[in-house]
């Protein structure tokens, strides 16, 4: 794996908006295609998926080929998954269901090598060139270039948002309006409800205060939602999922054909 600066991190540092998408199908081809289409990052969802094979490694290689940063969402409370995902070449991690700063500190601790954390050392992996690119420089590069993100999707997290954002080593948060909607009592996702929108705005305000970034997913109409959240201050815009984008296009095409 080529050791270079994290493209996504550079875009954010420059104050620009980064655009990405989500890959749920575990297709390396789609990761590569997303990069060719001009996306800066792709979120690979292994929270609501069950893949315990080598497909994720192939997706990391596709990210290198397509020049796109893979962010992998993995289950909470498993520090070994954090280390393993970073070893196979993820540009960043996303951990769901966060409620407080202590949880975030444990995540950062698991993601960073000493002195910033307790990540165990082995360069015998894709990220370390299978032992050929390890050592001091690889440790420094890993600590500096790996992005650490968590999800804000619980009311407790919004209540503790300032302490969460203040954690050193946290780079960004992904706001999850669907889970947040349900967690505050709605029977189904209600993204545009004022209570949900207020929580999003509060999260963005805190991120700005602590020089962190907010990521959010947008759906159809893509352009309107994207502009809305960019204007609010979101710096990472995730445009749909492979399933949702393809499903929408298929339905639209089929409807148009049937109506003619």
Q: How many CB atoms lie within 10 A of CB 121?
A: 14
25 vs 30: CA distance, rounded Å: 9
pLDDT exceeding 90 applies to what percent of the chain?
92
In this predicted structure, what is the pLDDT of residue 144? Answer: 97
Q: Which fold has domain 7-259?
A: TIM Barrel (3.20.20)
Average pLDDT of 10-38? Answer: 97
The domain spans of the chain are 7-259
In this predicted structure, what is the pLDDT of residue 79? Answer: 86
3-state secondary structure of 87: helix
In the chain, DSSP assigns E strands to 18-23, 41-45, 69-73, 92-95, 147-152, 172-175, 213-218, 236-241
47-61, 79-93, 170-184, 207-221 — which is least confidently predicted? 47-61
In this predicted structure, what is the pLDDT of residue 84? Answer: 95
Residue 220's pLDDT band (boundaries 50, 70, 90)? confident
Average pLDDT, the chain: 95
In this predicted structure, what is the pLDDT of residue 260? Answer: 78
Sign of CA pseudo-dihedral 156, 160, 161, 167: negative
Give one DSSP letter per residue of 230-242, joined into a string.
Answer: HHHT--EEEEEEH
Average pLDDT of 6-26? Answer: 97
């Amino acid at each position: 794996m080529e050791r270079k600066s994290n493209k996504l991190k550079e875009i954010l540092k420059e104050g620009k908006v980064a655009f990405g998408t989500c890959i749920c199908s575990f297709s390396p081809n789609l990761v590569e295609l997303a990069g060719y289409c001009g996306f800066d990052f792709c979120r690979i969802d292994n929270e609501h998926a069950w893949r315990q094979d080598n497909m994720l490694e192939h997706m990391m290689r596709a990210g290198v080929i397509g020049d796109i940063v893979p962010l992998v969402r993995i289950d909470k409370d498993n520090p070994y998954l954090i280390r393993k995902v970073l070893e196979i070449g993820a540009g960043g991690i996303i951990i769901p269901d966060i409620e407080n700063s202590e949880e975030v500190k444990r995540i950062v601790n698991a993601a960073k090598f000493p002195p910033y954390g307790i990540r165990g050392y082995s360069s015998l992996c894709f990220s370390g060139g299978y032992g050929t690119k390890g050592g001091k420089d690889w440790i420094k590069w890993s600590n500096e270039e790996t992005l650490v993100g968590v999800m804000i999707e619980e009311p407790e997290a919004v209540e503790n948002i300032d302490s969460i954002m203040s954690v050193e080593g946290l780079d960004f948060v992904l706001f999850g309006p669907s889970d947040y909607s349900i967690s505050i009592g709605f029977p189904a996702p209600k993204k545009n409800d004022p209570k949900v929108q207020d929580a999003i705005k509060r999260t963005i305000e805190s991120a700005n205060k602590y020089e962190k970034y907010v990521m959010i997913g947008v759906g159809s109409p893509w352009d309107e939602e994207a502009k809305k959240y960019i204007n609010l201050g979101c710096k990472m815009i995730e445009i749909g999922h492979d399933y949702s984008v393809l499903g929408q296009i298929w339905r639209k095409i089929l409807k148009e054909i049937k109506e003619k």
